[in-house]
Structure 1
């Protein structure tokens, strides 16, 4: 059963891997999931972002020196800032995992690596700090530049919290990495115990079949809001109904595909993406009975 719909980039790689057998297959699959070294400009963007962090932070500290009462207001804003960071991080994570195009100039590389990471969760554990942040350095730079147009010495509480928000989002991939390590950095361990960073126990649920929950990558504060309401599952179904393009999470694990969608695919087999067929062949243990009946019916 074929489809005219274009393959995801990673599915094109899997198509080649599928032809291999035994140890060669396993070795190539592991190699495929490794993150790539970012180019020089990607890393330069990160350094520029970090310089802007210090500039913005310096403005806020000067403002606190001039208006010390603003420190109390900054502390009031702090939990709102951290919750907002988790919401934004979760939205970005879900978008890159499920909806983003892999050929896009700004987020294509990040989308590819997020999806490969699902097949080998330990693939990011040995990536350097700067190389890890490079996926988002380019995206964050315009936001830092905009912030430089404001004088945060006049509103240091807002400036400090906005700087913290951008810094946390820039470091979201590193925070996520620490949630995968057996021995996180000592500072990360303290922040995880305080509930200020997502921990291994909470994040590990995201890597368990059917991979459709726990998208928080900052501190987990917004987890209950999204998972408790089934928000992302509803968004996946909306995405399918609106664009007739299968959310990538369904391709990764067909057991997440709703029964109503299987019924639609049965009546309209031309909607079955070839990515789904390739993925189910390479990761056959995830092939649901509904998918088997759909693909191998007479």
Structure 2
């Protein structure tokens, strides 16, 4: 991502977001520690119903679907935050700032702890998982709604883990188990992700596993999205 001339990031050396937003950072801590028990509860509730109803065979399919949904969603948001809006954009401004700083200081993500690495997603995941469980309960807790709950929960779980996998792709030194996961494309692989960090920085946006990147590039998904948005009056940032 090229820093825009009128962006605050161009006026001074980029600073890490948590240095400037202590209240936001406190929210990250709370959301991260709420995320894990909520996801565990949601998975247990939905998987139990599916197992007891004779649909245990669907669990691997829902798992794979959750990973793919996360990969696609990560790419969609990554593309949008790289090319539209600003740190002053309501609601998404903090996350947009995070992406802009990352493109100025790509290795800085390696210095972030778990809370700052995944917390930006956890802020959204906590209310979503609570609402998913509530909707599941009100809808009767049957096999179909349980499958939907499990799929949505797994997609959100991998969205939470996405920036951790992203961080691993930038680490200069990796343990053997991490290299194994990257080599077999279980998570985002370094050389694969470097394609995105190569000018003009306009492809390979998916950062959970990156599985969907070749397909989305082949069908020109993001350029077509940009043309569609331009048709309805939404223009890319200058220089993006």
Normalised TM-score (structure 1): 0.67
The one-character-per-residue Cα deviations of 1:193-237 (angstroms, maximum 9, x if unpaired) are 332211001001100001111101111121123211222123334
2:101 to 76, 91, 116: 116
In our comparison, the structure showing a higher alpha carbon Rg is 1
- Aligned partner of 1:11 in structure 2 is 7
Aligned to 1:78: 63
Query: RMSD across aligned C-alpha pairs, in angstroms?
Result: 2.7
When residues 158 and 209 of structure 1 are mapped into structure 2, their CA distance, relative to the original with a 3 A threshold, is same
* SS at structure 1 position matched to 2:195: helix
- The whole-number CA distance in structure 2 between the counterparts of 1:194 and 1:157 is 28
Kindly state the Cα deviation for residue 64 of structure 1 after the two structures are TM-superposed: 5.5
Q: CA deviation at 1:33?
A: 4.8
Report deviation, 1:53: 0.7
Q: How does 1:221-236 map to 2 (within 5 A)?
A: 221-236=211-226
Maintained 8 Å contact 2:35/2:122:
yes
Deviation at 1:95, TM superposition (A): 1.3
* Counterpart residue number, 1:34: 16
Structure 1 residue matching 2:7: 3-state secondary structure: helix
The 8 Å contact of residues 179 and 200 in structure 1, kept in 2 or not, is answered as yes
How do residues 1-298 of structure 1 correspond to structure 2 at under 5 angstroms? 11-14=7-10, 16-17=11-12, 29=13, 32-37=14-19, 38-63=24-49, 66-67=52-53, 69-149=54-134, 150-151=136-137, 154-155=142-143, 157-184=147-174, 187-243=177-233, 245=235, 247-248=236-237, 251-252=239-240
Q: Deviations over 1:112-145 (max 9, x none)?
A: 1101211221011110011111222222223111
- When the two structures are aligned, how many residues end up with a matched partner? 229
| In 2: Cα distance, 1:41 partner to 1:78 partner | 29
8 A contact 2:28–2:115 mirrored in 1 = no
Q: Secondary structure at the match of 2:196?
A: helix
Gaps of 5+ in 1: 1-6, 18-28, 253-298
Change (3 A) 1:71 1:192: farther
Separation in structure 2 between the aligned mates of residue 13 and residue 180 of structure 1, nearest angstrom: 22
Q: 1:185 to 1:143 in 2, by over 3 A?
A: farther
Structure with higher RCO (Cα < 8 A, 6+ apart): 2
Q: Secondary structure at the match of 2:37?
A: helix
Instruction: Give the stretch that moved more between structures: 231-240 or 160-169.
Output: 231-240
